[in-house]
Amino acid sequence: NGMDTLQPLETTISDKERFRDSVPLELSCPNCITKFAFGGIVASRYYRCVYSGIQCSNCDHIMTPIQVTSQVERVIRAHISLYYAGWVTCDDTTCGNVTRQISVYGKRCLMDGCTGIMSYKYSDKQLYNQMLYFQSLFDLQKNKLQTLKPLYHSGDKNEPEKPLSNSEVQALAEQNRPLFETSKQVVQKYLSDCGRAYVDMGSIFDFMQT
Amino acid sequence: DAKKYKFRTMRQSLLDAADVLDEQIDIFTEVIQKHHNLKASDIGDPTFQQQSEVYTVGRIVADSVSAEGSLNVDSLAIETSRSTGIGRRIRLNFEKVQDLSVFPGQIIGLRGKNANGEYFVVEEILKVPYLNFPVSDAETLQNSQITLNDQAMKVVVTAGPYTAANNLDFSNLADFVERINSSIKPHVLVMFGPFLDITHPLISTGNIPEFPSLKQQPKTLDEIFIKVITPILRRINPKIQVIVLPSTKEVSSKHAAYPQDSLDRKYLGLPKNFKCFTNPSTFQLNEIFFGCSNNDIYKDLKEVTKGGNVFQRNRFDRVSEHILEQRRYYPVFPGGIRTRKIEDKNGKPIFEHISGADLDLPYLGLTEFVGGIIPDVILIPSELTHFARVVQNVIMINPGSFIRPNGGRGTYVEMSIEAPDMENEKMTKVEDVYLHNLWKRSRIDVLTA
Ligand SMILES: [Zn+2]
Ligand SMILES: [Zn+2]
């Protein structure tokens, strides 16, 4: 089945497609504890990027860099810890076994008579993509090109009235350069230890050799 | 070997994990077989209905895959290895056993019979032998004696958190450093993280307070370590050897899994008298072997017990014996997890993951006792009440948290270890080497931090 699993080079996939399963980065306003999904320099009813940072629309508090980066780091670590909780799931839909027990055969389902195949519920690929998604939110280039995964589908009740203008995005990106670069480094810290990132490099070369 | 901990994280393969889980059973099968003088053919498959008794070795598991949390003596099963029972599991019946303490993940040897194909009736739990104690030759001991100038070696042990749950105020740690330098004056200070806990409530909400002593506020959590914690630690007298072990909740560790790589001393700006060790790690101070692990096995090991003799004993002693018997610092599987009940968008209760033991299964081999010996002293911090106990002639210590969540002073441990003296009746000579008998030579105090 080599041909079925042949994927296009990952770099050619749009962020919208690649991050389809990634969950939003939820930030909490330290002043009024309102929670909101942060989607980069984009329109939102809950926050706005201003020249001096990210501002809560509910109470107008502008978050300091550490108030942003500490939450980014906390969220990443929660994802890594969830990954290491090691939940596994059966691929047989009539079984639906979800557990943290692992058979000495690894992929064998422990339900009586089930011939399904077990795999990690939170796969390393998903975790890797999740971190790439967080990184993309603070990527100035992607923000400026406006290629980020959208926060809302059209028709969502929380969808903002109108998008930011291109010139607003360009200006805000430059004004927030230090904050975004620092935040991106926080994500990079974990990507640098992520085994998947290095495996991907290898598989690209494998692909070119064959 | 510290280099082995340099593996990249977040890349577990289920097959590698399963290999490790299978291997654990095979290793103990050999140990138990040897100790009880059994032939390889005496070890049988307990999952088959049989007329005769068999000996078997496997892993204690819950009898239902969906079982999370509370287990009891009627809800346990044994999992066989690939070679003993092609990985099959069978329910256990402990009716005939008077006293027991078992837990999920434990590798156990049993004698019993599966008469009906439904369950295995246990007649006897086979003893797993303890590893040997370390020994030293006369020259090594003499060197220790000379190094210490016949004085006692003083070792102080602390464990995080080092701030209360509602602030990031490290002034108690700063005060402690003053006391370390002026009055406590240990030879060695062992410090366990977390120094800055990623699950600290103020970090979760992004509510990081200002640090009034700093002109420029930190922009990242790593900068809090470097600008706030490092300057305090740097004040420790450079003549004191400081050993630092991380926690998987440590902010400044990007290796958020157990076994865990050491902290980066240079990046954090820690001086040369600091040694950053892996978690877990085994090291020697003079002749003495220290085993250290920073994963809360005393909280996470949930025993299933039966029998009056078991209940009469101290729980910390029972858990310690399990650790010694299993020969690894965190023998529970699946590892502990901490969750919080919240409501989803529709008001339905769901569990949000907070933290856990974060076991990297393919590397669990690194959490086994090193070199086929039991350390003289084992340090494992726990959220539970501090203790220092001698269990099977091993000193087991939980120093307790340095600060309580409410900000109250926690505890630390002071060990005073007499220099070895071969003329002294406290040393035991075995042929031409000596047992360290640390438990006879040590005084341990749990003190208010
Ligand atoms: Zn607000
Ligand atoms: Zn299944």
CB contact, 8 Å: A74 with chain B?
A: yes
CB contact, 8 Å: B37 with chain A?
A: no
Residue A205, pLDDT score? 55
CA atoms A35, A40, A46, A50: torsion sign: positive
Q: How distant is the Cα of A97 from the closest Cα of chain B, in angstroms? A: 8
Q: Give the B window 71-90 contacts with A, CB below 8 Å.
A: 79-82, 87, 89
Model confidence pLDDT, tens digit, residues A72-82: 999 999 999 99
- Whether residue A8 is preceded by a cis peptide bond, meaning omega within 30 degrees of 0, is no
Q: Is there a contact between B375 and B282 (Cβ–Cβ < 8 Å)?
A: yes
Q: Are strands B100-102 and B304-306 parallel, antiparallel or unpaired?
A: antiparallel
DSSP letter string, B271-334: -TTEEE--BSEEEEETTEEEEE--S-HHHH---EEESHHHHHS-HHHHHHHHHHHHTBS---SS
Q: Which residue has the tokens 């072990």?
A: B245
| Amino acid, single-letter form, for residue A53 | G
pTM over cut 0.80 = yes
**Phi/psi at B370 (nearest 5 deg)?**
-90, 140
Q: Give the B window 214-253 contacts with A, CB below 8 Å.
A: 217-224, 248, 251
> Around Cβ A116, how many Cβ atoms within 10 Å?
18
Residue A12, pLDDT score? 65
Confidence of residue A204 (pLDDT cuts 50, 70, 90): low
Model confidence pLDDT, tens digit, residues B282-330: 999 999 999 999 999 999 999 999 998 888 899 999 999 999 999 999 9
Q: Give the B window 182-221 contacts with A, CB below 8 Å.
A: 198-199, 203-208, 217-221
Cα–Cα dist B222/B60, whole Å: 41
Ligand 1 centroid distance, CA of A35 (Å): 8
Residue A1, pLDDT score? 37
More confident residue, A3 or B437: B437
Tokens of B292: 């250290």
H-helix segments, B313-448: 315-326, 438-441
Q: Is there a contact between B376 and B394 (Cβ–Cβ < 8 Å)?
A: yes
DSSP letter string, chain A: -TTTT----GGGS-HHHHTTTPPPEEEE-TTT--EEEE-SSS--SSEEEETTEEEETTT-PBPPHHHHHHHHHHHHHHHHHHHHT--EEES-TTT--EES---TTSSB--STT---BEEESS-HHHHHHHHHHHHHHT-HHHHHHT-SPPSS-TT-TT--SSPPPHHHHHHHHHHTHHHHHHHHHHHHHHHTTBHHHHHHHHHHHHHHH-
Distances (CA, A) of A126 to A78, B249, B326: 14, 22, 34
> Around Cβ A134, how many Cβ atoms within 10 Å?
27
Residue B66, pLDDT score? 78
Residue A210, pLDDT score? 41
Residue B160, pLDDT score? 97
Compare all CA atoms of chain B with the CA of A111 and give the residue at the minimum distance. Answer: B65
Adjacent-strand bridge partners of B82: none
pLDDT in tens, chain B (449 residues): 899 999 999 999 999 999 999 999 999 999 999 999 999 999 999 999 999 999 999 999 999 987 666 899 999 999 999 999 999 999 999 999 999 999 999 999 999 999 999 999 999 999 999 999 999 999 999 999 999 998 999 999 999 999 999 999 999 999 999 999 999 999 999 999 999 999 999 998 999 999 999 999 999 999 999 999 999 999 999 999 999 999 999 999 999 999 999 999 999 999 999 999 999 999 999 999 999 999 999 999 999 999 988 888 999 999 999 999 999 999 999 999 999 998 887 889 988 999 999 999 999 999 999 999 999 999 999 999 999 999 999 999 999 999 999 999 999 999 999 999 999 889 999 999 999 999 999 999 999 99
Residues of B in contact with A105 (CB under 8 A): 18, 82, 87
Per-residue pLDDT, averaged over A144-149, amounts to 94
Question: Are the Cβ atoms of B10 and A195 closer than 8 angstroms?
Answer: yes
Residues of A in contact with B356 (CB under 8 A): 81, 84-85
Three-class secondary structure of residue B417 per DSSP: strand
- Reported as half-sphere exposure (CB side, CA atoms, 13 A), residue B429 has a value of 8
